Amino acid sequence: MTSRAAIVGPIPEKGAEVVSSPSLEQVREFIRASKAESTLRGYQSDWRHFLDWCQKHDVCPLPSSPETVASYIAECAGYLKTGSIQRRLNAIAEAHKAVGLESPTSAGMVRNTLKGIKRMIGTAAVQKTPTLTDDIRVMVDATDAGPIGSRDRALILLGFAGAFRRSEMVGLDVPDLGFTRDGLTVTLRRSKTDQEGMGRKIGIPYGSNPETCPVRALQSWIEQASITVGPVFRSINRHGHVQPGRLSGIDVARIVKKLVDRSGLDATKYAGHSLRAGHATTAAIGGASERSIMNQTGHRSVQMVRRYIRDGNLFRENSAGKLGL
């Protein structure tokens, strides 16, 4: 397991009593659990990049000066997006905090350098194209026969209907599913915005078209794969045998791109997130309220979900359509 202290290595000890103290070990365990494993791994990668840069320029990385950090991000601006630069700064800050040092990232020189970078190269994130309902129908038609097609249909239909993140879909286990008369209840034990594991339930109603019904597609996959325990979405070997191991988030993106490409669309514009974005955009086009979309997506920020709603309303509520042209 990756620890926060592992970003820079062992935290220096101040005395033998501290080393042997069981309470310190408990504190470290809580620190390790304070952030997602993926976040800590990202910090480690970013910190290693900063270390290499410091070695190349013969400057001290820890403690680092504001001048050093400002120069570093100024160089990064030549090839990184502002979001990636901010992540590098977060890693530098965490590394200093891990050994009890004041972070240089809060210095005015660093903040102003970052502000200038944002003004010059912009902060807009590159959004993947959302898959709308018509796209999903074509993708379903493009799936394979046999277990691979059954799994892929269940994956994209459930991901679209539930507005799930990739990590949420591949993290599903059989006990997380509840089939009822009204449809499917999915219990998310943990997600990106729920690291404490409070969990939340999401309803997936039956679709009006049996061919694109997410509930029926999932039932078909589970029955065909004879899955009774463990992961819901699994890998399949070249002989068509369902394996015990769960898919990864990268696998979800690969499946989406494969089906998008077969549908005649530009696969470079789509990714696993396209299913989630497609749900929000399509729901907005259909007149769904912000609240209902957020209930399904789990977004905590209205601003985040409004990006999709704006896209969905570009033509539905467009004053140019009232001009009589």
Q: How far is CA 49 from CA 78, 214, 319, in A?
A: 15, 43, 49
Alpha carbon separation from 70 to 97, 105, 108, 123 (Å, rounded)? 18, 8, 10, 18
> Catalytic site residue 299?
yes
- Residue 57 catalytic? no
Active-site annotation holder among 4, 153, 216, 276: 276
Active site residue 270: no
Among 192, 241, 310, 316, the active-site one is 192
- Is 308 catalytic? The answer is yes
Q: In whole angstroms, what is the distance from residue 275 CA to residue 253 CA? A: 10
Q: Which two tokens stand for residue 68?
A: 């050093």
Q: Which amino acid is at 304?
A: M
Catalytic residue among 88, 128, 151, 165, which?
Answer: 165
**Residues 88, 96, 234, 299: which is the catalytic one?**
299
Integer-rounded Cα Rg, in Å, for the chain is 24
Token pair of 322 as six digits:
């009232």
Q: Rounded to an integer, what distance in angstroms lies between the CA atom of residue 222 and that of residue 69?
A: 52
Tokens linked to 29: 């365990």
Q: Is 273 among the catalytic positions?
A: yes
Q: How far apart are CA 125 and CA 5, in angstroms?
A: 30
Output DSSP code: residue 287: T
Are the beta carbons of 165 and 192 closer than 8 angstroms? Answer: yes
| 131: CB partners within 8 A, 6+ apart | 139, 156, 160, 256, 260, 270, 274, 275, 277, 278
Of the listed 128, 151, 273, 279, which one is catalytic? Answer: 273
Q: Which two tokens stand for residue 95?
A: 């590394």
144 vs 148: CA distance, rounded Å? 6
- Is 49 an active-site residue? no
Among 308, 318, 310, CA closest to 130? 308
Looking at the annotation, which residues are catalytic? Answer: 165, 192, 273, 276, 299, 308
